[in-house]
Structure 1
Amino acid sequence: MFKIIVDLFLMVIIQAAITPFIRRLAFVLGAVDNPNARRVNKKPMPTIGGLGIFVTFNIGAFILLREQFPTHELFSVLLASSVIILTGMIDDILELKPGQKMVGIFVGAMIVYYLAGIQMNVINIPFTHRSFYLPWYLSLPITIFWILALTNAVNLIDGLDGLASGVSCISLLTMGIVGYYFLRNQGLYVPIACFMLAVCLIGFLPYNFNPAKIFLGDTGALYLGFMIAVLSLKGLKNVTFISLLVPVLILGVPISDTVYAMIRRKLNKRPISQADKHHLHHQLMSLGLTQRQTVLVIYALSLIFSFVSMLALLSPGWAMTLLIIGLLVAVELFVESIGLLGEKYKPLTHLISHLVLGSTKHQEPKVEVWHQGQAKPEQLKHEVQPPAGKKTKSKQKHKS
């Protein structure tokens, strides 16, 4: 174990040393992100930062910690991730269409399914000990969908300096902890791989955090999303409903942002693949937060999701159900408060207001301040006058 820890620290150093060379290579290849209406950067920034993460991870897998990984799966995942890296680099240099990027991810997912044998072939029935084994014609599309969805979820959240890399690092560390302490029956090499990717990101973050010197690019965002999807398929399996729930909770921030983006575009009658500037980080910045503050807020949200995922592993079925319901309500209220689906879409907020305040609105009485010597306010002019026959005490005393 001590050797693994030392090698992980060494990978941080390798990543920190290799990133400046990747930055220079980006300028040479023309992998530069120029400012435009959808970008937050004000000057041209080098991308393909994910190439350095890919190189460092494979140095660790094939040299430093080679004995930890089975040969067949290691080479198969290398081939599949190479397809993802190539797709991302072409996009960072030439800018591919969304459909073309999906083809690259699909090819990588097919390699993982058939060559590496990493598949979602068991569906656990919630709150029971029964499992349903999927035939290939169900297992294949579910596996492909899982990889495509998580890969694109991480890619969509890559909009600010250090955002995707930090959220991915938190998710990978959580996956590693869950795999090591809770699901050790699946083998140690999956949590080790999670920790390896996480330390690569730790070495990369000083260059990527605001103000960034290099971006992940689609090279890095697609690679991180793809590897997280593959590692979650391989490692986060158990005999309960947690096998599907844990990775969804761990990746709660990018998954939530993706789901709400799809709903938002559907409500606005726009293509789901059409980009916009209404993602989670855009909405937080519209509230007046700086880039750095926005990233730190989303880091905190990711930590909350990670904590809930680990808490779910320790909870009985009924407690886990209440935990998930509470989390979903909190997410919906947060989404409505920042206007992620638009200012008018606040069904839960309106429902709570109706239940708490009732159907009638209570109006506060209008109060006007009147100082002696000024014109009498309208509300005093209409006061009930005393009967004509009655005199006030002060007037009666004055007469006597």
Structure 2
Amino acid sequence: MDLIKFPIPFFFAASSGSLGAWFVYRYAAFFGLIDQPNHRSSHDRPTPKGGGIGILIAFSISCILLNFSILFWGPVTFLSLLSLYGDKINIKPILRLAVQFSVTILFLITFTSFKLIENDIQSLYLIILWFFISTFIVGTSNFYNFMDGINGIAGITGIVGFGLLGFFGKINHQNHQWVILSFVMAFACIGFLPFNIPKAKVFMGDVGSILLGFVFACIVVVFAQSFSDFVILVSFMFPFYIDELFTMLERIIDKQNLTIPHRRHFYQILANEGKIEHWKVSVGYGISQFIIGVNVWLMISKMGIYFGLFMVAILSILLFIINRKVKKLFECWVGNTDCQNR
């Protein structure tokens, strides 16, 4: 498959990403899609949200043109539209999770070879595997949503993450439908990005972030033929995973309700307390995402999974130390902590 000779889906995806963002920018007030800033926001003025609708259109139309089963794109489109409704009206977390897990289970039943068998031990293993993969897909969807908190970060992460997925799939001769879909999602993010960076004319909203996280995780599951592949593919979105996991751990230790919005992500501290421009933080995340993803890919490909896992462990420890040091520093700057006791 020569992607250079097949540019139409990518041009359409970029155009759709832009037009969707423009439409919401112009008519968000009419549909009640205005994000009002509060004490947890990283923005200081009312801003249209739901601009990711163009990414959804690019996804759905491309899936139809690529002959994907409606059992894939239909439920995922419904999930994204429900998230768009959530951009307007608050939806209870339990309902969100119920729909997300339902769509995930349907995807696994339809598009994977994980079938229960008569052997009890093997069946138990497959049940555990299903639970892990379901949690991974739903978790990635919500991680992407939680990490969409400053200008440009969701769009740049989508460009890098789906771009790396596409090249991985192409190099490893994966199903061309999924390879093209990976690049379609990346180009849709490219089309959306000018409306969100450096100053946000429109926010992506749950309609885009939940969709990107869900589709990313599904492609990872489809492409991963081994545990080594899985580690490589997950590393393509490493900064998002590690930031969210560290933040969740901190909030659990502090006995906070994980469903309540907050401003404790590392990127939020840099942008809010650190006063670093949003686009600089987002570009920094994108660059680190690309460097880490490519290096983990090369390490595992050339030296094996154990060296790759060792690299991931070292990176995680290093980023944890940086995360704690930077947060303590900025807490001192804004007077939230007794710095003399540090």
Question: What TM-score range do you get, normalising by the shorter chain?
Answer: 0.7 to 0.9
Q: 1:320: how far off?
A: 2.6
Counterpart pick for 1:196 among 170, 176, 184: 184
Asked if the contact 2:269–2:330 (Cα under 8 Å) also holds between the matched residues in 1, the reply is no
> Using CA pairs below 8 Å that are at least 6 residues apart, which structure has the higher relative contact order?
2
User: 2:115 and 2:236 mapped to 1: Cα distance?
Assistant: 21
User: 2:329 and 2:113 mapped to 1: Cα distance?
Assistant: 34
Asked if the contact 1:77–1:112 (Cα under 8 Å) also holds between the matched residues in 2, the reply is yes
User: 1:159 and 1:118 mapped to 2: Cα distance?
Assistant: 33
Count of matched residue positions in the alignment of Structure 1 and Structure 2 = 323
Asked if the contact 2:114–2:126 (Cα under 8 Å) also holds between the matched residues in 1, the reply is no
Which residue number corresponds to residue 25 of structure 2? 23
Q: 1:118: how far off?
A: 3.4
Which residue number corresponds to residue 143 of structure 1? 133
RMSD: 2.5
Q: 1:120: how far off?
A: 6.2
Asked if the contact 1:152–1:225 (Cα under 8 Å) also holds between the matched residues in 2, the reply is yes
Counterpart pick for 1:310 among 290, 297, 304: 297
Counterpart pick for 1:97 among 74, 79, 92: 92
1:17-58 deviations in Å (ceiling 9; x for gaps): 343223334322212111111112222211111211111222
* Mapping of residues 158-307 of structure 1, within 5 Å: 158-181=148-171, 183-184=172-173, 186-235=174-223, 237-239=224-226, 241-285=227-271, 286-307=273-294
Q: 1:176: how far off?
A: 0.9
SS in structure 1 opposite 2:41?
coil
Letter in 1 for 2:86: D
User: 1:119 and 1:309 mapped to 2: Cα distance?
Assistant: 27
Name the CA shift for 1:76/1:312 in 2 (closer, same or farther; >3 Å): farther
User: 2:275 and 2:22 mapped to 1: Cα distance?
Assistant: 33
Which residue number corresponds to residue 43 of structure 1? 45
1:67-122 deviations in Å (ceiling 9; x for gaps): xx4x43xx1111221221122112111112322322221222122123x3336679
Q: Percent identity?
A: 21
Which residue number corresponds to residue 117 of structure 1? 111
Q: 1:296: how far off?
A: 2.0
User: 1:206 and 1:120 mapped to 2: Cα distance?
Assistant: 41
Asked if the contact 2:52–2:205 (Cα under 8 Å) also holds between the matched residues in 1, the reply is yes
* Mapping of residues 5-20 of structure 1, within 5 Å: 5-20=7-22
1:227-265 deviations in Å (ceiling 9; x for gaps): 111111112x234x3132112211211111221121111
Asked if the contact 1:45–1:213 (Cα under 8 Å) also holds between the matched residues in 2, the reply is yes
Structure 1 unmatched runs, 5+: 123-131, 345-400
Asked if the contact 1:158–1:221 (Cα under 8 Å) also holds between the matched residues in 2, the reply is yes
User: 1:25 and 1:133 mapped to 2: Cα distance?
Assistant: 52
Q: 1:308: how far off?
A: 2.3
Letter in 2 for 1:98: P
Q: Taking structure 1 as the reference length, what is the TM-score of the superposition?
A: 0.74
SS in structure 2 opposite 1:315?
helix
User: 1:7 and 1:90 mapped to 2: Cα distance?
Assistant: 27
SS in structure 1 opposite 2:52?
helix
1:342-368 deviations in Å (ceiling 9; x for gaps): 979xxxxxxxxxxxxxxxxxxxxxxxx
User: 2:213 and 2:123 mapped to 1: Cα distance?
Assistant: 26
Structure 2 unmatched runs, 5+: 117-121, 333-342
User: 1:332 and 1:8 mapped to 2: Cα distance?
Assistant: 37
Asked if the contact 2:55–2:188 (Cα under 8 Å) also holds between the matched residues in 1, the reply is yes
Q: 1:133: how far off?
A: 8.2
User: 1:119 and 1:159 mapped to 2: Cα distance?
Assistant: 36
Letter in 2 for 1:269: K
Counterpart pick for 1:32 among 28, 31, 34: 34
Asked if the contact 2:144–2:213 (Cα under 8 Å) also holds between the matched residues in 1, the reply is yes
Asked if the contact 2:16–2:55 (Cα under 8 Å) also holds between the matched residues in 1, the reply is no
Asked if the contact 1:15–1:56 (Cα under 8 Å) also holds between the matched residues in 2, the reply is yes
Q: Which has the larger radius of gyration?
A: 1
User: 2:100 and 2:141 mapped to 1: Cα distance?
Assistant: 8
Letter in 1 for 2:209: A
Which residue number corresponds to residue 339 of structure 2? none
